[in-house]
Amino acid sequence: MITFVGAGPGAEDLITVRGQRLLGNADIVIYAGSLVSPALLSWCRTDCAVYNSAEMTLEEVLEVMTKGAREGKEVVRLHTGDPCLYGAIREQMDALEQEHIPYEVCPGVSSFCGAAAALGAEYTLPGVSQSVVITRLAGRTPVPERESVRSFAAHQATMVVFLSTGMLGRLSEELIAGGYAADTPAAVVYKATWPEEKVLRCTVGTLEETAEREHVTKTALIVVGNILEGEYERSKLYDPSFTTGFRKA
Ligand code: SAH
């Protein structure tokens, strides 16, 4: 069996119990070495064969997976955070399906959740924002024009921007062009949940200088929105005057 496992955002104990068990049973682990902490490999058996996919092509990854699966081995493909976000798993799953090799996915804690924890933030505050936009700027991978940061900014919803730390000047311009005031609260969260985590609070207009000052050039998330500071309404769910299925007002 092949299992795609979410490694979590960094700290080795932020993998799920199931993910840890799968790592402990694995004969072969292919991990995304650019972002998955090697500390996660401490859950593997000492005789487990470990491959770093940062140095491999898709074809090479598939070869290790299919060979392992055909030999009846337990194969874990370890992706950072949760594999459903920018994980490039669809192309792997499709190739396995073509070869009639079964696979499963074990979810993980995405880095956008790790960043919220580091910030002590709730992304969905009543009266402020009830939506989270997860997006990125176009880099070598294009982003469809209809999904521009500028167009999402018009909603003033909480925004978490992946894969864009090297382009923060452009990110500020897009956010402001879309309607965010330059003084809207923002944050750069570097390596959330890793020992070297940095939480840099700033504004939409000061993203680039903030990251530069702290020498943050990659492995960061940009969080934008008024949920980071200021007023909000208390929840209805826990309001004494509000009846729910479980509690009378
Ligand atoms: N599947 C992953 C995202 C992979 S894309 C997830 O669910 O988190 C890689 C990008 O994720 C990085 O460029 C960075 O923007 C972000 N990232 C991953 N781990 C991070 C962490 N611990 N702290 C901050 N950003 C992180």
Distance CA 151, CA 133 (A): 11
Q: Whose CA is nearest to atom 6 of ligand 1?
A: 81
Would the CB of 80 count as within 6 Å of ligand 1? Answer: yes
Would the CB of 85 count as within 6 Å of ligand 1? Answer: yes
CA of 223 to the centre of ligand 1 (A): 12
Would the CB of 81 count as within 6 Å of ligand 1? Answer: yes
Coil, strand or helix at 146: helix
Both tokens of 10, joined, read: 């960094």
- The pLDDT score that the predictor gives to residue 61 is 98
The whole-chain average pLDDT of the chain stands at 96
Print the SS3 string covering the chain.
CEEEEECECCCHHHCCHHHHHHHHHCCEEEECCCCCCHHHHHHCCCCCEEEEHHHCCHHHHHHHHHHHHHCCCCEEEEECECCCCCCCCHHHHHHHHHCCCCEEEECCCCHHHHHHHHHCCCCCCCCCCCCEEEEECCCCCCCCHHHCHHHHHCCCCEEEEECCHHHHHHHHHHHHHHCCCCCCEEEEEECCCCCCCEEEEEEHHHHHHHHHHCCCCCCEEEEECHHHCCCCCCCCCCCCCCCECCECC
- The pLDDT score that the predictor gives to residue 130 is 97
- The pLDDT score that the predictor gives to residue 230 is 87
Would the CB of 216 count as within 6 Å of ligand 1? Answer: no
Q: Whose CA is nearest to atom 25 of ligand 1?
A: 220
- The pLDDT score that the predictor gives to residue 175 is 97
Would the CB of 8 count as within 6 Å of ligand 1? Answer: no
Q: Which tens digits make up the pLDDT trace of 175-197?
A: 999 999 999 999 999 999 999 99
Both tokens of 8, joined, read: 């979590």
Q: Is the dihedral of CA 76, 79, 81, 85 positive or negative?
A: negative
- The pLDDT score that the predictor gives to residue 215 is 97
HSE-up (13 A, CA, CB side) for residue 1: 11
Would the CB of 14 count as within 6 Å of ligand 1? Answer: no
Q: Whose CA is nearest to atom 13 of ligand 1?
A: 163
Low-confidence ranges of the chain (pLDDT < 50): none
The answer for residues whose C-beta is within 8 angstroms of residue 90's C-beta and 6 or more apart is none
Helices (H), the chain: 17-25, 58-70, 90-98, 111-119, 149-153, 168-178, 207-213
The closest-lying atom of ligand 1 relative to the alpha carbon of residue 110 is 7
Phi, psi (degrees; rounded to nearest 5) at 135 = -155, -170
Would the CB of 221 count as within 6 Å of ligand 1? Answer: yes
Distance CA 170, CA 217 (A): 14
CA of 81 to the centre of ligand 1 (A): 7
Would the CB of 37 count as within 6 Å of ligand 1? Answer: no
The closest-lying atom of ligand 1 relative to the alpha carbon of residue 109 is 7
CA of 236 to the centre of ligand 1 (A): 33
Distance CA 220, CA 237 (A): 33
CA of 217 to the centre of ligand 1 (A): 13
The closest-lying atom of ligand 1 relative to the alpha carbon of residue 164 is 15
